[in-house]
Copies of this chain bind each other. A is one copy, B any other.
Amino acid sequence: MFRNQMPRFEVLSEGALETVDRGWRRLVSEIGVQFDHPRALDLFRAAGCEVEDTLVRFDPDFLVEQAAKAPREFDMRARNSEHDLHIGGDSMIFAPTQGPPFVRMGGTRRDATLADLQRFIMLTQMSPELDTPGGGICEPNDTALDSRHLAMNMSLILLCDKVFEGVPMSEVAAADSVRMGEILFGGREAIEERPVMFANVNVNSPLRYDVRMLEAMLEFSAANQVVMVTPFLLMGAMAPVSIGAALAQQTAEVLAGVALLQLVRPGAPVVMGSFLSSTDMKSGAPAFGTPESAIGLYASGQIARRIGLPWRAGGGTLTASPAVDAQAGYEALNTLMSAFLAGANVVWQSAGWLEGGLVACFEKFMMDVELLKLLRVQLAPTVIDEDALAFGAHKEVGPGGHFFGCEHTLAHFRDCFYRPFLATTDNFDRWSGKGSPTAAVRAEGLWREALERYEPPPLDDGVREELLEFVERRTRELGDDPIDLGIPPQAPPAAAA
């Protein structure tokens, strides 16, 4: 796990922070937040909040008190203890993109399938830079909708031993996800003691939680699993066209959701989510990797630290580009670098995101893993001690010489610098001789090779059987025919297509 020991990049003055504070307080008390679920309304009513139809108006201080019940930092348990996670403080974890209905592979764009999802899970398992696969790295469109969550969870468990995300799409999906966590980790008590899965829920911004999200939130928090409450704000669409207003709204929405979860289970682990970008005001299309999105990240980090909650930054390696081109390169780095600078604890959408999130792209996935590797080196503490001065090298080389063959270079050349796996330093002749492959073309070779090397993590036979039986039974109960996941025990599935 990466520890972010660098200075935080803070752009809001104390005065600006106080203005945002006044903003969310006014929103929750004067306008209120809509909750489309009777249990949520009951909980708020019982806690003394003003409930009118489905609209809840809050005393702002009540929300602050509830947020204070959530842990500032907490641990999560992975099947492989080497992949246990610490959330909050200066720790930073990364997950690939989540949710795209399409994939892009070798320049072809098409509907995503379960086999694609499995490929992405395998690549995540093989990438030390990714701490969790999350859940639906892409949407397995070729599986039945009602039982899709079972195929997704089972693929995650069979192919990866990192903490994963349960499926928060409905009460049924949430309950089945929690049950599979119980089977995998030895029962309800075990997973309540230390959470084993995430659930990211997006607010129906502005200021509304719909019934499906609420059902899932209540289910996961009751089981003490980690709920990330994430307003998805495209300014101009789900928020006003002003960063200040969007930050106030984001804070209001997060605090209202977090308060509900603390009423369900005081002390339940939560993450303040954020996903703030702008709309292209000419076309109405979402824009990513923009200045406003970066400023939103810097500011959200400050607000999260002020509130005292672990913070999920959106994103990621975001881009609106439809191709793995120069725009995709700089927009992705701009959001990812900003997430580091802002001190994010959880970064979803860190590998594979393309075309404004509609596409999970295999080549972009590899590029993004390179960016993660690179920034983890770049933003690690720089130690300069007497030894680092290498005075002996200067004595050996002297004015006008070169350091290629000197003793200090020979002793350190293997590990003195970051070694990229995607970036090339080939000269023009060498590069032309290889057919002038762009970064996107090289990336295709890299993921295909990686999948050839994939090995599934071990899983206890009894646990595997119990999970497979559960999935088969629940699939039938939900009215679908059980499917072959295409994952033989202890052997890799057919890799590259």
A residues sitting closer than 8 Å to B (CB atoms) are 6-7, 9-12, 16, 19-20, 22-23, 26-27, 31-34, 55, 109, 204, 206-208, 235-245, 247-249, 278-287, 289-292, 294-295, 298-299, 320-334, 337, 341, 355-356, 358, 367, 371, 374-375, 377-378, 381-386, 388-391, 393-395, 397-404, 406, 408-409, 412-414, 416-420, 422-428, 431-432, 436, 438-440, 443
Q: Are B243 and A394 in touch, CB under 8 angstroms?
A: no
Contact A287 B425 (CB under 8 A): yes
Nearest CB of B to A376, in Å:
9
Q: Kindly list 6 other residue pairs between chains A and B, CB separation below 8 angstroms, not including A11-B382, A27-B394.
A: A6-B9, A238-B402, A243-B382, A287-B423, A291-B377, A320-B424
- Alpha-carbon separation in the docked complex, A390 to B27 (Å): 11
Given A291-B375, A378-B291: A417 and B237 interface contact (C-beta under 8 Å): no
Given A389-B23, A399-B55: A325 and B439 within 8 A (CB)?
A: yes
Q: Which residues of B contact A330 (CB under 8 A)?
A: 329-330, 332-333, 367, 371
Beyond A109-B428, A382-B299, A438-B325, is A19–B389 a contact (Cβ under 8 Å)? Answer: yes
- Asked whether, in the complex, the Cβ of B31 is within 8 Å of the Cβ of A416, the reply is no
- Closest 10 A/B residue pairs (Cβ): A329-B329, A244-B388, A291-B378, A326-B329, A244-B384, A325-B438, A207-B399, A34-B399, A329-B330, A245-B390
**Are B322 and A439 touching (Cβ within 8 A)?**
no
Q: Can you give 7 contacting A-B residue pairs, CB < 8 Å? A: A204-B400, A243-B382, A245-B393, A279-B417, A287-B417, A321-B424, A330-B367
A240 touches B403 (CB 8 A): yes
Beta-carbon contact of A23 and B326 below 8 Å: no
Which of B206, B334, B416 meets A397, CB within 8 Å? B206
Q: How far is the CA of A2 from the CA of B283 in the complex (A)?
A: 30
Q: Which residue of B lies closest to A327 (CB)?
A: B439
Q: How far is the CB of A289 from chain B (nearest CB, A)?
A: 8
Given the known inter-chain contacts A290-B418, A371-B330, A438-B326, please indicate yes or no for A16 contacting B382, CB distance below 8 A.
yes
B326 touches A409 (CB 8 A): no
What number of copies of this chain does the assembly contain? 2
- Cβ-defined contact, A388 with B245, below 8 A: yes
A434: min CB distance to chain B, Å: 10
How many Å lie between the Cα of A241 and that of B396 in the bound state?
14
Could you say which residues of chain B place their CB within 8 Å of the CB of A391? Answer: 23, 26-27, 245
Cross-chain contact A399 with B31 (CB below 8 angstroms): yes
Residues of B within 8 A of A401 (CB): 206
**Complex: how many Å from CA A386 to CA B72?**
30
Whether A236 and B414, one on each chain, are in contact in the complex, defined by CB atoms closer than 8 angstroms, is no
* Smallest beta-carbon distance A110→chain B, Å: 11
Partner of A243, one of B34, B278, B388, B420: B388
Given contacts A204-B400, A391-B26, contact A358 B326 (CB under 8 A): no
Residues of B within 8 A of A291 (CB): 374-375, 377-378, 418
**Residues of chain B with a CB closer than 8 A to A249's CB:** 394
The answer to whether B393 and A240 touch across the interface, beta carbons within 8 angstroms, is yes
- In the complex, what's the smallest C-beta–C-beta distance from A20 to chain B, in angstroms? 6
Inter-subunit contact A292/B417 (CB<8 Å):
yes
How far is it, in angstroms, between the C-alpha of A120 and the C-alpha of B209 when the chains are bound? 54
With A400-B34, A403-B241, A417-B235 as known contacts, state yes or no: A428 contacts B355, CB within 8 Å. Answer: yes
A401 to B205, CA, bound (A): 8
Given A330-B332, A414-B281, A322 contacting B382 (CB threshold 8 A): no
Name which residue of chain B comes closest to A285, CB basis: B425
Q: Which of B237, B241, B390 contacts A244 (CB 8 A)?
A: B390
Contact between A425 and B286, CB atoms less than 8 A apart: yes
Contact indicator B426/A20 (Cβ below 8 Å): no
Of B9, B22, B245, B323, which contacts A436 at CB under 8 A? B323
